[in-house]
Amino acid sequence: MRDAFPRPAFTADTVLVRDRERGWEVLLVRRGNPPFQGLWALPGGFVDAYEPPEDAARRELEEETGIRFEGPLRLLGVFGGPGRDPRGWTVSAVYMGLVGPSDAAEPVAGDDAAEARWHRLDALPDLAFDHADVLASARGVLEAGSVHV
């Protein structure tokens, strides 16, 4: 009998933002594997069984960028629109954190990330998945001033 309640794959992503003199920057990784190999994306990945989503977001951030972020994370939103991941139905809890303007955290790509670096939020490269929509939500939060360092 078919499961009456199909379940999506569950992922957690992090929008880590820093304020620079030239404006907001967001930390992105260049995907080293399909899908969207070679495109930029938010650091993130699959939540392990029984792992709290925020813990998964922090773990994936550190695995993919080498940055251990211990500051507060706020839930930006839950994204699960159809077609966001060609591997199948995937729902992501996306967390947002801010680092101070003088924070010199420089990423080092790891795990399945081919590259990791900061990008200006107003000059983003082509993005994987629905991460352009996610970052539009993050921009709205920043412009509203509802997140502080």
Catalytic residue among 60, 64, 115, 143: 115
Task: Give CA torsion, residues 74, 118, 106, 34, to 10 deg.
Answer: 90
Task: Give residues with Cβ within 8 angstroms of 5, minimum separation 6.
Answer: none
Separation CA 94–CA 78 (nearest Å): 6
60 flagged as catalytic:
no
CA 41 to chain centre: 7
**Nearest-5° angle of CA 132, CA 37, CA 43?**
55
Task: Give residues with Cβ within 8 angstroms of 104, minimum separation 6.
Answer: none
Residue 48's identity, in one-letter code, is: D
Indicate which residues carry an active-site annotation.
115
